[in-house]
């Protein structure tokens, strides 16, 4: 048995208020719990980013949900493989298993389901279907498509986290053998993508090679490309730094755009990612680097894969 969902990412930041203000700009909702800042998606009862005060911005932990039986199984596998099960850190006293992965990054697995996220455009008061007119097939007839400028366009859920790792294969081994995830695709020893065996987005955890562990980006699902556009326009209006996009990834196929946080970390907004159902015979590919990252969009910035947790 395996992890069944991504719960949240824990992030150390030097200024929790500043981080909360950034995530509020990004359309997320803030709350405070003890000394931590908490970020959630509107209408969704699940922490998505847990902010802990620290000297610099740094990945603190990644948290997954599973069933009671899943938790037992995972604990047994970890013990058998010689991993030490730890007490919850004082600053994030969450229940469940705490363990350090192959990079020494804290991983939490607890008994939890994914909270339902708001559905399609109807969740925001729009027509239920994302109707698109294409040559010869005018699926949207007699209806205007352009959204109102001020209509809500907030992230629906945390979809995936991309972590820097010092060793791709060791980290894949931890996530697949210990947590039961599956490899979706990879680019040699540089990048890898993993999904949940019970069915999930093409990637829930992704990895990029670096000199040190870290969080490259946390990625939030939007209802559609209009919501990506509206949310991006609002972030720009508030003075946030756009990094890359709008474009379409090759691996995972998602539409994307990325913004920098105050410490050069990244947040991604995506829509229309590939989905791998439970039991599906998905064929993982090893992609050549040149074809792997995006099929169209602006040129990728040179510092897109810089690990600012090391540089800063």
Q: Please report, as ranges, the residues that interact with Fe ion according to CB under 5 A.
A: 219, 268
Give the nearest distance from C-beta 122 to Fe ion in angstroms.
Answer: 26
d(CA 262, CA 240): 8
Evaluate the CA torsion angle 94, 96, 99, 101 in order and state its sign.
negative
Residue closer to Fe ion (CB basis): 244 or 263: 244
Residue closer to Fe ion (CB basis): 12 or 268: 268
Tokens of 42: 């509107």
Give the nearest distance from C-beta 148 to Fe ion in angstroms.
Answer: 28
Cis peptide before 46, with omega less than 30 degrees from 0?
no
Which string of DSSP letters, residue by residue, matches 182-215? Answer: EEEEEETTTEEEEE-TTEEES-SEEEEE-SS-EE
Give the position of tokens 């498509």: 145
Residue closer to Fe ion (CB basis): 163 or 219: 219
∠302-26-198 over CA atoms, to 5°? 85
Cα 193 to chain centroid, rounded:
12
Which neighbouring-strand residues pair with 10? Answer: 50, 61
Evaluate the CA torsion angle 288, 294, 296, 299 in order and state its sign.
negative
Do the beta carbons of residue 7 and residue 65 sit within 8 Å? Answer: yes
Give the nearest distance from C-beta 2 to Fe ion in angstroms.
Answer: 21
DSSP letter (8 states) at residue 262: T
Residue closer to Fe ion (CB basis): 76 or 241: 241
Give the nearest distance from C-beta 162 to Fe ion in angstroms.
Answer: 5
Residue closer to Fe ion (CB basis): 101 or 268: 268
Give the nearest distance from C-beta 219 to Fe ion in angstroms.
Answer: 4
Which of 9, 21, 93, 89 has its CA nearest to residue 47?
Answer: 9
Residue closer to Fe ion (CB basis): 100 or 294: 294
Residue closer to Fe ion (CB basis): 261 or 268: 268
Give the nearest distance from C-beta 254 to Fe ion in angstroms.
Answer: 7
Give the nearest distance from C-beta 28 to Fe ion in angstroms.
Answer: 16
Residue closer to Fe ion (CB basis): 98 or 259: 259
Give the nearest distance from C-beta 266 to Fe ion in angstroms.
Answer: 9
Which neighbouring-strand residues pair with 106? Answer: 61, 100
By Cβ distance, which residue is nearest to Fe ion?
219
Q: What share of the chain is helix, strand, coil (3-state, %, to 5)?
A: 20, 35, 45
φ/ψ of residue 134, rounded to 5: -130, 160
């Amino acid at each position: 048995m395996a992890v069944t969902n991504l719960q949240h990412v824990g992030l150390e930041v030097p200024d929790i208020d500043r981080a909360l203000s950034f995530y509020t700009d990004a359309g997320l909702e803030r709350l405070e719990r003890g000394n931590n800042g908490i970020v959630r998606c509107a209408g969704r009862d699940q922490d998505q980013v847990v902010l802990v005060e620290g000297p610099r911005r740094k990945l603190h932990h990644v948290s997954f949900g599973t069933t009671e039986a899943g938790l037992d199984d995972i604990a047994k596998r970890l013990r058998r493989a010689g991993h030490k099960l730890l007490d919850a850190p004082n600053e994030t006293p969450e229940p469940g298993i705490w363990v350090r992965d192959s990079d020494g990054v804290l991983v939490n697995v607890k008994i939890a389901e994914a909270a339902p996220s708001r559905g399609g455009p109807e969740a925001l008061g729009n027509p239920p279907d994302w109707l698109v007119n294409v040559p010869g097939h005018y699926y949207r007839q007699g209806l205007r498509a352009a959204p109102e400028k001020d209509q809500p366009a907030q992230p629906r859920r945390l979809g995936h986290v991309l972590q820097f790792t010092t060793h791709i294969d060791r980290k894949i081994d931890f996530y697949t053998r210990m947590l039961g995830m599956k490899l979706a695709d990879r680019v040699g020893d540089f990048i890898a993508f993993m999904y949940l065996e019970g069915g999930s987005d093409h990637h829930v955890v992704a990895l990029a090679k670096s000199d040190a562990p870290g969080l490259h980006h946390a990625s939030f699902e939007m209802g559609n490309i209009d919501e990506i556009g509206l949310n991006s326009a609002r972030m720009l209006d508030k003075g946030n730094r756009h990094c890359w996009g709008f474009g379409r990834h090759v691996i995972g196929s998602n539409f994307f755009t990325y913004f920098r946080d105050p410490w050069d970390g990244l947040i991604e907004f995506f829509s229309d990612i590939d989905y791998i159902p439970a039991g599906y015979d998905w064929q993982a590919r090893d992609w050549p680097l040149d074809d792997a990252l995006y099929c169209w969009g602006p040129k990728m910035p040179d510092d897109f894969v810089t690990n600012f947790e090391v540089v800063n």
